[in-house]
């Protein structure tokens, strides 16, 4: 039996795409919105000396600033109006998700449907403004503390910088919502994807230049290409992997007719947590290094200096902590976003049950048991995908950062966007078939 992906691919053809006017409008709108985002990453904040900023950022690029710069498409290194990127919105979304499992009122809002989601989205926007304001003030104060970067330090610079950076984040949030509503794909994910993908050509050019000059051997470059291809194939395979639990519904009688019981499946993704575990683990591990780079390391005790040095990329302690934190956050975030008890209650409410498992608490325990087992495999997959580039960087001495997190985001967003394009094409083809059937029926009626 052909899979759903194969059926979608079979129905995807250029003739259908050329006739899908609504889909083309959505794609052009998405590309235009992403172009606006990319232009904003090159508009600098006022009052910044670009040469002094470039020199200072080069010294701090190995810390958490380098990670944020990757997600912001290079806007942090240029200190552009979109330097904060969309990360405050993502952080606020995660915080609100965590709070919904702790605060009963938010949990009740989540179960109210569309109206509850609107209220939660509004809370997320308020949280985005708060987080963006705090981060913008921290960036402005940090830049002002280095007198060579800011041309005219003072209260006016702090105020203008905070307004500029917070306004840039809120504008990006609005663009992301517009892409989701009027374009193709998830707007927030596509903004992050565009920021990461924008740095890929320069990274590839640097790699080829190192091979041309002899700094890297041809064998190393081939190994890099093979590792990237293997990682992409692994991400595609594991992100599509599901454990489907058979759900049965009993027979029901409507009037004098007896309807046969239906069967369906409850899909459990192998990687329910997505890319959140690597992002959390990277941010927490790079935070001590970033703080140390901004402070005077000569005043730190010897043990602190040794720990900071061992947390650098490629160090055994960094690898061990990175793997452990990814596994921890994979289980933690899965427990937050998926509640087996709620799923079991919904099944019981609609009359569904898992064969051989009693509805209610037994079903919740069984779903939790299965989810825990597949999350172990998902955590191992995340650890392998994220550690392979780190091992390659430390062993081969590749000077640019090839992150597993960025690879996960790029491949996952690409898969989701392609699936949405195929869904729009299938809907367009279905509408065309319905119109043809109506026209044929009308002609027969006139005859």
| Domains of the chain, earliest start first | 14-197 (1.10.3370.10), 217-252+259-397 (1.10.3370.10)
- 437 Cβ contact list (under 8 Å, min separation 6): none
Q: Which residues of 30-57 are buried (b: 16+ CB within 10 A; e: fewer)?
A: beebbeebbebbeebbebbbeebbeebb
**pLDDT at res. 2:** 41
Beta bridge partners of 353: 248
pLDDT of residue 256: 63
Calpha distance 55→252 (Å, rounded): 72
How many other CB atoms sit within 10 Å of the CB of residue 135? 20
Q: What is the pTM of this model?
A: 0.79
376 CB neighbour count, 10 Å cutoff: 13
C-alpha span between 19 and 25 (Å, rounded):
11
> Cβ-count burial of 428 within 10 angstroms (0-12 exposed, 13-18 middle, 19+ buried)?
middle
Look up residue 352 and give its DSSP letter: -
φ/ψ of 268, rounded to 5, equals -115, 115
Residues 6+ apart with CB under 8 A from 58: none
Q: Count CB neighbours of 117 within 10 A.
A: 12
pLDDT value for 304? 67
Number of H helices, E strands in the chain: 18, 4
pLDDT reported for residue 1: 39
Query: Angle, nearest 10°, between helix axes 64-71 and 187-213?
Result: 110
Q: Look at residue 265 in the predicted model and tell me its pLDDT.
A: 84
CA pair distance 32, 361, nearest whole angstrom:
50
pLDDT of residue 439: 64
Q: Which residues contact 55 (CB under 8 A, 6 or more apart)?
A: none
Structural contact between residues 52 and 148, judged by C-beta atoms closer than 8 angstroms: yes
Largest CA distance in the chain: 95
Residue 37 is predicted with a pLDDT of: 92
- CA 437, 438, 441: angle at the middle one, nearest 5? 85
Q: Which residue is listed with tokens 């941010």? A: 283
Question: Whole-angstrom distance between the N-terminal and C-terminal Cα of the chain?
Answer: 41
The 3-state DSSP class for residue 253 equals: strand
pLDDT value at residue 111 = 75
Q: How far apart are CA 193 and CA 408, in angstroms?
A: 10
Which residue, 346, 329, 345, is CA-closest to 337? 329
The one-digit pLDDT tens for each residue of the chain (447 residues) are: 344 444 444 444 556 666 677 888 888 999 999 999 999 888 888 888 777 777 777 666 555 566 666 666 677 777 888 888 888 888 888 888 888 877 888 778 877 777 788 888 899 999 999 999 988 888 888 778 766 778 888 888 889 989 999 999 999 999 999 999 898 888 888 998 888 888 888 778 877 887 888 777 888 888 888 888 888 888 889 988 888 888 888 766 556 666 566 788 888 888 888 888 888 888 777 777 666 655 555 666 667 677 777 776 667 888 898 899 999 989 988 988 888 888 888 888 878 888 888 888 898 899 999 999 999 999 999 999 888 877 877 776 665 556 677 888 888 888 888 888 888 777 767 666 666 666 666 555 555
């Amino acid at each position: 039996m052909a899979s759903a992906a194969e059926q979608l691919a079979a129905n995807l053809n250029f003739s259908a795409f050329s006739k899908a006017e609504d889909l083309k409008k959505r794609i052009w709108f998405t590309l235009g919105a992403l172009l606006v985002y990319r232009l904003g990453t090159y508009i600098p904040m006022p009052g910044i000396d670009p040469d002094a900023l470039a020199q200072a950022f080069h010294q701090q690029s190995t810390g958490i600033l380098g990670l944020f710069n990757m997600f912001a498409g290079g806007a942090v290194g240029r200190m552009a109006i979109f330097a904060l990127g969309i990360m405050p919105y993502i952080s606020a979304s995660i915080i609100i998700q965590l709070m919904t499992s702790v605060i009963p009122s938010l949990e009740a809002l989540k179960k109210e449907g569309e109206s509850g989601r609107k209220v939660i989205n509004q809370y997320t926007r308020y949280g985005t403004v708060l987080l963006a304001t705090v981060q913008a003030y921290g960036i402005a104060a940090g830049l002002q503390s280095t007198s060579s970067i800011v041309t005219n330090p003072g209260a006016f610079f702090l105020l203008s910088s905070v307004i500029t950076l917070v306004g840039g984040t809120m504008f990006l949030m609005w663009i992301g919502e517009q892409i989701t509503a009027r374009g193709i794909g998830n707007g927030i994910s596509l903004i992050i994807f565009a920021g990461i993908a924008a740095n890929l050509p320069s990274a590839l050019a640097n790699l080829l230049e190192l091979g041309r000059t002899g700094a890297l051997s041809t064998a190393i470059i081939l190994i890099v290409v093979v590792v990237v291809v293997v990682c992409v194939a692994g991400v595609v395979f594991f992100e599509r992997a599901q454990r489907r639990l058979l759900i049965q519904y009993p027979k029901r009688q409507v009037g004098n007719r007896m309807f046969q019981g239906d069967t369906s499946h409850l899909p459990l993704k192998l990687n329910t947590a997505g890319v959140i575990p690597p992002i959390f683990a990277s941010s927490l591990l790079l935070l001590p290094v970033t703080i140390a780079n901004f402070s005077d390391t000569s005043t730190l005790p010897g043990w602190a200096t040794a720990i900071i040095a061992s947390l650098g990329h490629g160090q055994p302690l960094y690898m061990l902590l990175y793997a452990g934190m990814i596994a921890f956050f994979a289980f933690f975030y899965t427990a937050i976003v998926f509640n087996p008890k709620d799923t079991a209650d919904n099944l019981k409410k609609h009359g569904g049950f898992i064969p051989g498992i009693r509805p209610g608490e037994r079903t919740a325990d069984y779903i939790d048991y299965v989810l825990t087992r597949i999350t172990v495999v998902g955590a191992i997959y995340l650890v392998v995908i994220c550690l392979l580039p780190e091992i390659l960087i430390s062993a081969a001495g590749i000077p640019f950062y090839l992150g597993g997190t960025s690879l996960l985001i790029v491949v996952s967003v690409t898969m989701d966007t392609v699936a949405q394009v195929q869904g729009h094409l299938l809907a367009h083809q279905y509408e065309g078939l319905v119109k043809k059937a109506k026209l044929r029926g009308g002609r027969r009626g006139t005859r």
